[in-house]
Amino acid sequence: MATETATVAEKAVTLSQGKTRYFEAGTGFPLILVHGAGFLGGAEGWLPLLPTLGNRFRVLAIDCLNFGTSDVFDQEFSFAYLVDHVREFMDALGIEKTNLAGHSMGGWIATLFAYESPERLNKVILSSAGGTATRPLQNMVEWKPPTAEQVTNQMSGRLANLPPGIDGSRLLDQALAAAASAEHTDAFAKVMRHMTNPLTRQRYNTMRRLPHIKVPTLILWGTEDKTNDVSMGHDLHEGIKDSKIVLFEGAGHGTPQERPDEWLKAVMEFL
């Protein structure tokens, strides 16, 4: 991995639903990172990559709506809110135009964003992105709040590779508090119910939208992805004109974490 010099800071901004947490590093043209759908998959999942990305960009990893330690959105849910939450974040920070990278659910959000608001984007990166399939994932359908032991076990690997200045014990305490909070687990369950609803999968499916996406697009995928099959990456590549696809041979679903050096190299070259 490249020499890590950019300092990472945990911050918060007040939006319409309340406080949204994000991590920021570096200066220059912005790059917003949008995480996947796991209960512990908030903005902190990007932390090991932020110092390197921050050497070239003002990189901002954001908690999606009803994820992480941010305030919850206690209304009827919609994917439209998830996408607009990123736009509102940009508006609040005075970011008119950005690069946008999304992983898994975050890639679904980024695809919809590119379709709806191309004028707000410079380039978009779709990493193992959801949105093209009509079937729900069984682990979303059957989701239950994690136990304290499960939280600790899942967080242990992530906490082993944190940037300087980020307190791992504090992140663990935040995750444990969120898992023990009925407000946070109920809010997350609301997202899961929305994402697994067959009508959601139909209404927010990205396939019909792909031919209308004109933003320069990079598609990143592991060939052994068991969550979003690599065929979904090829569907995106074929659907978005002039897009570029990079496959990570033998990698699974979590390529930013599994293959950080390769992932960073592909992203840096594209941007």
pLDDT of residue 139: 55
pLDDT of residue 1: 43
The residue assigned the tokens 């059957």 is: 142
The residue assigned the tokens 């697009």 is: 217
Rounded to the nearest 10°, the torsion over CA 73, 79, 80, 85 is 50
Is this model's pTM higher than 0.75 or not? yes
pLDDT of residue 141: 59
Tokens of 173: 């305490």
Task: Give CA 100 to chain center in angstroms.
Answer: 10
**Cα 15 from Cα 89, distance rounded (Å):** 7
Q: Which amino acid is at 70?
A: S
pLDDT of residue 144: 84
pLDDT of residue 264: 97
pLDDT of residue 159: 82
Tokens of 241: 């004109």
pLDDT tens string for the chain (271 positions)? 445 478 999 999 999 989 999 999 999 999 999 999 888 888 999 999 999 999 999 999 999 988 888 888 877 778 889 999 999 999 999 999 999 999 999 999 999 999 999 999 999 999 999 999 877 665 565 678 889 999 999 888 788 888 888 999 999 999 999 999 998 898 888 888 888 888 888 899 999 999 999 999 999 999 999 999 999 999 999 999 999 999 999 999 999 999 999 999 999 999 9
Cβ-Cβ contacts under 8 Å for 13 (sequence gap 6 or more): 19, 20, 22, 89, 92, 93
DSSP 7: P
Name the phi and psi angles at 101, rounded to 5: -125, 130
Task: Give residue 68's region: left, alpha or beta (phi > 0; psi -120 to 50).
Answer: left
Q: Are 148 and 180 in contact (CB under 8 A)?
A: yes
Cβ-Cβ contacts under 8 Å for 52 (sequence gap 6 or more): 1, 2, 3, 4, 6, 264
Closest CA to 57 of 68, 46, 72, 71: 46
pLDDT of residue 63: 94
Domains and their CATH numbers in the chain: 8-270 (3.40.50.1820)
Helix (H/G/I), strand (E/B), else coil: 213: coil
